[in-house]
Amino acid sequence: MTSKKFFRSEWKRIIAVLILGLIISLIQVVEPQITSKLVVSLNNFVLALILAGFSLILGILSSVLNSKKSKIEIRCKLSISNNIKLEVGRRLINSTSNSIKKYNNNERLTSIVCEADNLVENIFQLASQWFSLFTGLLVLIYTAFVSWQIFLLFLVAVIAIFFYQRSAMYKLKEKREACQTAHERTRSMIREFIEGVLDIKGQLLGPNIKRTLENSLVDETSSSVEETDVIAKNNVITSVILNSFLFAFFALGIWLISVDQLTVEELITLYMYKNYMMVLVSSINRIGTFWSGLTVSKNRINEVLKYRSVLEKDPCGSVHLHLSDVKGNLALKDVTVCVEDKTILDNISINIEANSFVGIVGQGGCGKSTLLKVLSHDIIPDSGEILLDGLNLNELDDYSIRAAIRHAPQTPCVFTMAVRENLQMANENATEKDMWEALKYADADGFVKELENGLDTVINRSSLSGSQLQRLALARIPLRTSKIILLDEATSAMDNITQSRIISTLKRVTENHTIIMVAHRLHILEDADVIFYMEDGKIVDTGSYSDLYKRNSSFRKLADEG
């Protein structure tokens, strides 16, 4: 899929805009001829009055058509832009982890979502310039019939600007891309500095951070200045050509009148047309500018739109599985995941029974989080199968997978909006009573009550502690439970007592659910039905907490450290 699809969906409005634009262009060509006839007919009152009436009617008609064209155009632009944003957002949400990693920061992802406005605006601006170009071509045709000398003058001016702008367009595109990238990098850096201000102060990183930011700002300023210089130089050269053309026009026109090859009426008409010729030349200039911006926006949007589904390596299945039909059995068969020639998961085969409480443990970097992402189908293995109740996940549609398997990461997503709205993300029909019960289950009701406006307090990631963020995110689980719940260090920011209490409550609330938990503090897995112990991307031992503690020294050491 590409961004062209969204313009095809609005073809009726686009055709209406084109037709209105063409009619307006024709009116613009006719108006100067009526005006010139009016000027030379001032001694004939009746004829001058009739011509003035025609001019008035054309002016009103042009204004009405312009207003109608603008209304259709704005609706068309908003519809296309909103649809692109929704589709880009959907693609990003459904992208695999590997897809997201190709982007260097979240600021770039944000800019891609917002790039729809730039794309649509550039395309409609480009269309507007083509209307001006069309008007200019009609003027050229008329001029050719009136005076071949002035026609050649017009043509030379247009050709000179065309070839100049063609060579300048590529340089401007390059400068614009560099400027946009530098701007995004600086914005991202500033946001990250603000988020990490405590680490920066605590580790005396300030001087180096300041130097890095200064360098980034210098690069951004330099890129902006270079882009402005290219545009300014372009405008100066264009202005010199246009003014030289105007001087030559007057000189040639006066000479043609003196030798009776041109009438005063025709000179007035051509003089009024010279404005359209300047618009024609400016349109050639702007076409290059808008085309440059359009290309940048289109390429960025298509980076995301090219992903056909959540899956990078396999087509998304078509089988729909109702949540009520899901039992909760999971199995991995010979699953291997490699990243940049490094094996992250090595030929893993496990069976997880429905309604069981399962732990996954191991030293940092052994592949625990990757294993959860494979189970949630966020990472597609290089080989092997993931089975849900005996069905290969590749056979299921995306909605079935996301509805059946819930993934709660270590760093949860909390939006800058009210607590109530954050909880309604899980269930928009949740009542206030449902929300308070869910908050109580997650041991989050206490701190929410203390907020200035309770559920209606606007929060963000910086206004809550790590523990509060995790508890608020866990409160979403009872509001919209899935049959299988994956917890990736989802309580790591809490103290031992709070952590144990929440896990115990969560297990009670999600009774008859399969819970798979990655944990660093192993004591919360003491009553797990089974624990998988990982080393170097492999499952090296399996058993209950007590069994592993007795026979596996590495597990025992890890448990004692927690």
pLDDT of residue 313 exceeding 50, the answer is: no
Do both 50 and 108 map to the same domain? yes
Last residue of a domain, one of 244, 277, 305: 305
Between CA 517 and CA 485 the distance in angstroms is: 8
Do both 294 and 358 map to the same domain? no
What pLDDT score does 205 carry?
A: 63
Q: Phi and psi dihedrals of 509, rounded to 5?
A: -65, -40
Provide the percentage of residues in the chain whose pLDDT is more than 90: 6
CATH number of the domain to which 513 belongs: 3.40.50.300
What pLDDT score does 532 carry?
A: 93
Do both 277 and 342 map to the same domain? no
Between CA 31 and CA 53 the distance in angstroms is: 12
Mean pLDDT, rounded, for 42-58: 84
Between CA 331 and CA 321 the distance in angstroms is: 17
Q: Does 540 map to a domain?
A: yes
Residue 68: band (very low, low, confident or very high) from pLDDT cuts 50, 70, 90: very high
Between CA 406 and CA 375 the distance in angstroms is: 10
Across 199-208, 241-250, 434-443, the highest mean pLDDT is recorded for 434-443
Residue 410 in contact with residue 492, Cβ under 8 Å?
yes
Last residue of a domain, one of 254, 270, 305: 305
Structural domain total, the chain: 2
Q: Does 137 map to a domain?
A: yes
Do both 361 and 296 map to the same domain? no
Residue 151: band (very low, low, confident or very high) from pLDDT cuts 50, 70, 90: confident
Do both 159 and 212 map to the same domain? yes
Q: Tell me 261's DSSP state.
A: S
Q: Does 314 map to a domain?
A: no
pLDDT of residue 202 exceeding 90, the answer is: no
Do both 148 and 262 map to the same domain? yes
pLDDT of residue 101 exceeding 70, the answer is: no
Task: Please list the alpha-helical segments (H only) found in 94-204.
Answer: 97-101, 106-146, 148-195, 197-202
What pLDDT score does 542 carry?
A: 92
Do both 370 and 268 map to the same domain? no
- b/e 486-500 (16+ beta carbons within 10 angstroms → b): bbbbbbbbbeeebbb
Q: Does 318 map to a domain?
A: no
Rounded to the nearest integer, the mean pLDDT of the chain is: 79
Residue 392 in contact with residue 330, Cβ under 8 Å?
no
What pLDDT score does 351 carry?
A: 92
- b/e 83-96 (16+ beta carbons within 10 angstroms → b): bbbebbeebbebbb
What pLDDT score does 315 carry?
A: 46
For 418-470, write each residue's pLDDT tens digit: 888 888 888 888 899 999 988 888 888 888 998 888 899 888 877 888 888 88
CATH number of the domain to which 195 belongs: 1.20.1560.10
Q: Does 117 map to a domain?
A: yes
Do both 340 and 301 map to the same domain? no
Closest CA to 406 of 476, 502, 336: 476
Q: Phi and psi dihedrals of 355, rounded to 5?
A: 65, 20
Do both 120 and 201 map to the same domain? yes
Do both 127 and 14 map to the same domain? yes
Q: Does 512 map to a domain?
A: yes
How far, rounded to the nearest angstrom, does the alpha carbon of residue 242 sit from its chain's CA centroid? 40
Q: Tell me 346's DSSP state.
A: E
Do both 163 and 295 map to the same domain? yes
- Using a 10 angstrom Cβ sphere, with 0-12 exposed, 13-18 middle and 19 or more buried, the burial of residue 60 is exposed
Q: Does 227 map to a domain?
A: yes
Higher pLDDT, 286 or 517: 517
Between CA 453 and CA 118 the distance in angstroms is: 38
C-alpha pair distances (Å), 316 with each of 252, 307, 330: 69, 11, 19
Between CA 54 and CA 34 the distance in angstroms is: 8
Q: What does pTM read for this prediction? A: 0.58
Between CA 176 and CA 164 the distance in angstroms is: 18
Residue 104: band (very low, low, confident or very high) from pLDDT cuts 50, 70, 90: very low
pLDDT of residue 200 exceeding 70, the answer is: no
For 516-560, write each residue's pLDDT tens digit: 888 877 888 888 889 999 998 899 999 998 999 899 888 888 888
Residue 406 in contact with residue 477, Cβ under 8 Å?
yes
Q: Does 291 map to a domain?
A: yes
Residue 87: band (very low, low, confident or very high) from pLDDT cuts 50, 70, 90: confident
Do both 296 and 328 map to the same domain? no
Provide the percentage of residues in the chain whose pLDDT is more than 70: 85
Residue 301 in contact with residue 84, Cβ under 8 Å?
yes
Last residue of a domain, one of 305, 335, 361: 305
Please give the single-letter amino acid code of residue 445.
Answer: D
Higher pLDDT, 394 or 332: 332
For 383-399, write each residue's pLDDT tens digit: 899 998 888 888 887 77
The residues, any chain, with a CB within 8 Å of residue 300's CB and separated by 6 or more, are 111, 112, 115
Domain of residue 334: give its range.
Answer: 323-561
- b/e 375-408 (16+ beta carbons within 10 angstroms → b): bbbbbbbeebebebeebebbebbeebbbbbbbbb
